[in-house]
Amino acid sequence: MSDDRSTERRLRREREGSDPGELARGLAEAALTRKAEGIVILDLKGLTSMADHFVIATVTTDVHARAVAEAVVEWAEESAGERPWHVEGDEGSRNWVLLDFVDVVVHLMQPETRAYYALEKLWGDAPRHPVEDPPR
């Protein structure tokens, strides 16, 4: 892990009220508001030092990926006072958009990309928490 990332993780953890689990849940629920599918939170605590949680969601098109990413970032800024530390895949093709909030990394992937990289399988030891729309 880079020194910059380590420093950022330490600073974010020192912030009052910073709970990576709550942040992950909020980011996942924000993705739901734009109809992301198959959302799962992987709890990586104790498995890696790079992040505490991954939020993985399926998006159907580039436009859908952009809309979900915008909703996630907007929620983070307005509700949690967080901004992504790093963003990848937000230009050009959006087969995979990564929003790195340091303790929580959001992966928005189109179906073929999600199946190919199989992050849930790669991190198979991580407890999984599916996130679904509440029943109406």
53-58 and 86-88 strand pairing: unpaired
Whether the predicted pLDDT of 100 surpasses 80:
yes
pLDDT of residue 49: 87
Which domains does the chain show, CATH number per domain? 3-130 (3.30.460.10)
**What angle, 0 to 180 degrees and rounded to 10, lies between the N-to-C axes of helices 20-32 and 62-75?**
140
pLDDT of residue 134: 67
pLDDT of residue 63: 93
pLDDT of residue 1: 54
pTM to 2 decimals?
0.88
More confident residue, 77 or 3: 77
H-assigned helices in the chain = 3-14, 20-32, 62-75, 111-117, 119-122
Q: Could you give the percent of the chain with pLDDT greater than 90?
A: 76
